[in-house]
Every structure is written in structure tokens, then in C-alpha cells.
Structure 1
Amino acid sequence: MASDKGAYLLMLTAIRSLAFTLVFYSGSLFFVLAALLLGSFSTEAVLRIGTGWSRFHRLCAHWLLGQKVKVVGDLPLGPYLYIVKHESMFETIDMLCLFDRPAVVAKRELLDIPLWGRVAQRYGLIPIERSGGASAMRVLRAAARDANAQGRAVCVFPEGTRVPHGEAPPLKAGFAGLYVLLGLPVVPIAIDSGRVSPRGKFLKRSGTITYKVGEIVPTGLDRREAETRVHAAINALNPPSALLQ
């Protein structure tokens, strides 16, 4: 009986995952084409379409995958640098739901995606060269300050790539540099999306994806102290043993 139930749940998960893939990606093409068509006339239109795409993604995750979203803690809005744990594709897209038109820092290779890359650039994605060194940091600093001046949240995934749930790798060196260069207080945010939508896996399970907002890290701290606080906060939803890695 237990094996029959397990097989049934696996089949249900596979059907849900397939439905999500078909509906979300085909629907995404509509949003991309709309943004390409209207983007030549209005940046505002691209921002609105981007927000609509993110909401569409969350609806698909909810109704097709059975995934709900919960935010624990108060999410402050204002001139902050938002540092977010990165476990799956989910939060990459969901940032546009969590914040109002955020400027998300992401690897430059994403701009090479046909059609989507052009829209992402128009939207205001902040690309970063992983091996760009000081010059890349200067470009990132200027783009982040410009976004902040426009009242847009600046969101960074400091681990550099998606990591499996339960793992807590060191933050990339770029975080400390950005913390000092921007001079903004930091809002660290943990997420456990990897439990239900693991990196590189087709099967996505139902469940609740939780964002946990940590204490604000003020400006002016020693780099090591700021990094230690942020690292602990963004891994708050991981097992305690993960922080020992």
C-alpha cells in the first residue's frame, strides 16, 4: 500500500511539473513578445509587463504545482540593499512580486538568452561579470546607485549561483565590496525554495516556500562583521548544521 501511494504521489508530481512547464514557458513567450513590441515606445510598459510575468509565474506555481508563498517578518521598503538566499529559479522570478520593480543583480550570461535577454536589459537587470574584478564592481556600483535613485529595490544573490537547500557556502567577495561602496543598510532574506523546487530538477513538489526577513545590517560595520551577520541571516531556514560549513 505504501509503495502504491508513493507511486501515485510521484506520478501526480510529474503531471503537475509537466503542466507547469508547458503553461509557464508558453505563457512567458507571450510576455516576452509583448515587452519587445511595446518596449521600443515605453520603459514603463516593460516594467509593468515584467511585474505581470512574475505574478503569472506565482499563479502557475500555486495552481499547477501546489506551492504557496509565506513571508515571515516585516519587509522594510526604502533605500536598502536586499541580500537574498538563492536555491532555485523560483526566487529569481519572484523578486518582481516580492518588490515593486526591483533591479536584480544577475550573471551577465542571462542577457545572452534569445529575446528574453533584450527584455531583461530593458527592464533594468543589473548584469555582472563574475571575473570582471574592480571594473565590474564599478559598473555594478553605478547601476545599483542609479536604480536606488529611481526608488527601485536593489536585490543581490550573494552566493553567485543556486545552492541546494541545506548548504551554506561562503558569500562571494563582491558582497563586501558592494556593502562598502553603496553605503546602504542591508536587509538579508532567507528562502527555502530548494526544498520543493530543487536546482536542475524537472520535478517540483507542492509545499510552502518561506521567505524569512532578517534583522537589518546597518552601514559602517567592519566587512567581516557585516558578512557574518548576512551569512547567518540568509541561512536561517537551513538546518543549524549548515552554518558550520
Structure 2
Amino acid sequence: MNQNDCRKPEGLPPSSLYALSALHAAPLLLGQHLVRLTEDGEIRCRIVETESYGGAEDKGSHAYGGRRTDRTDVMFRAGGIAYVYLIYGMHHCFNIVTAGENDPHAVLIRAVEPLSPRDAQLMAANRGTAIRKPSDLSGGPGKLCRALRIDRSLSGLLLDQPGGPLRLESGDDPRSLPVVQAPRINIPYAEEYAALPWRFYIRDNPYVSVHDSRAEPFIWTEDCI
């Protein structure tokens, strides 16, 4: 897969992203809005960091080699649903499934930014811990899920349902953002796939989990059709 393969997002509604490979979709998801409906009200935030997990050939993916289990079954469904799993027995991670049925692609959402002070307050209350800097609030998959009350009960949920408990909505045009790419985080087991620059984030955004000195600008190439 070409690390710069993509489609121009102009006029592209979020639902159109779901048919793309994870590597295509991951940079396009930056700037889009993630909305979580809770009993305390609606929380709206902007996606600022993503990681691509691209199909059965990706050694970093749960579905590497076509491995289909009770946990990974969601990844084999058609794109547009949530894939939520638990790591270390305590941290949830939220992914957006992309691509077609039986082609297991997923984009891990690593960090989000609240859209308003009220959104930030609700997220901080859900975190239930001291927030000393923005990345403490929602910079990292586990922090993000706690801030938005995302758990495995939402796995398999359609993300394009108006008024749904968790949904994706149009936000910023990614081409207007200073997007950079860098290697993914904490996947040494992925061997030659570990160093590929398949993590994408908005440069200098304070909510990003890890700013990598090796990050390079993401280039929207002429292949973006």
C-alpha cells in the first residue's frame, strides 16, 4: 500500500470514507467530528490523531493473516461501524472499521479535541482525574474512551445514524490542516510493519498523544482522486 494513497475530501461526506482502506481513510478522518451522546448530554470533539491498521497483510493488525475471532469479527464487516476492544484488562480502544466486507481494515482513533469548554468539562468529569495538560484529557486511546464513555457495548454500532449514541459527522477539510505522519505507537511485534509511517496527526495540536520528532508532512498527491 502506498503511504500517500488517498482521495480528496472536497464534498466527501463522512459515510463515503467507510468504503476506503484504512490507510486511505486515516488521514481523511483528521478534523472530522466525533459525537457521543451520554446521559449527561452530548459531547462533540474533533479527531486529531489516527492510526491505520490495514488488512490481513498488516502484522500490526488484530486480523493479521485473516485471523477471525469473536473479538475481531467486527473488523470483517463492511465499513462504517465501531470496533472497540479492551487492552491490559482495563483500557478500551475505539476504531472505525473501513473497507468492504471480509476485508478487515480499521482506523484507531488515538486522540480527540473537545469542540467547546462545555465538551471539555463533560470529558474531564468522565476522566475523573487531574487534567494538567490537554493530552491528559483525551490524548491516547484509553484516555479518549474514558473521556467519551466508550466501551465494548458500542462495538459493532453503526456510526452514520443521526442522533445515534456514537457517530461521525463532517468537520474540517483535512487539506486545510497541518497533517504529519509517523510510525505507529507500541507495536514492535509488527516487525517490518512497525516502522511504517501509518500514524497521522495534526502538527502541534496539544491533544495529540505523542509528537514524534521524525514526523514528516503528509503530502496530498495527484493520486488523490
Normalising by structure 1, what TM-score? Answer: 0.25
**Higher fraction of helix:** 1
Indicate the structure (1 or 2) with the bigger Cα radius of gyration: 1
**Higher fraction of strand:** 2
Normalising by structure 2, what TM-score? Answer: 0.26
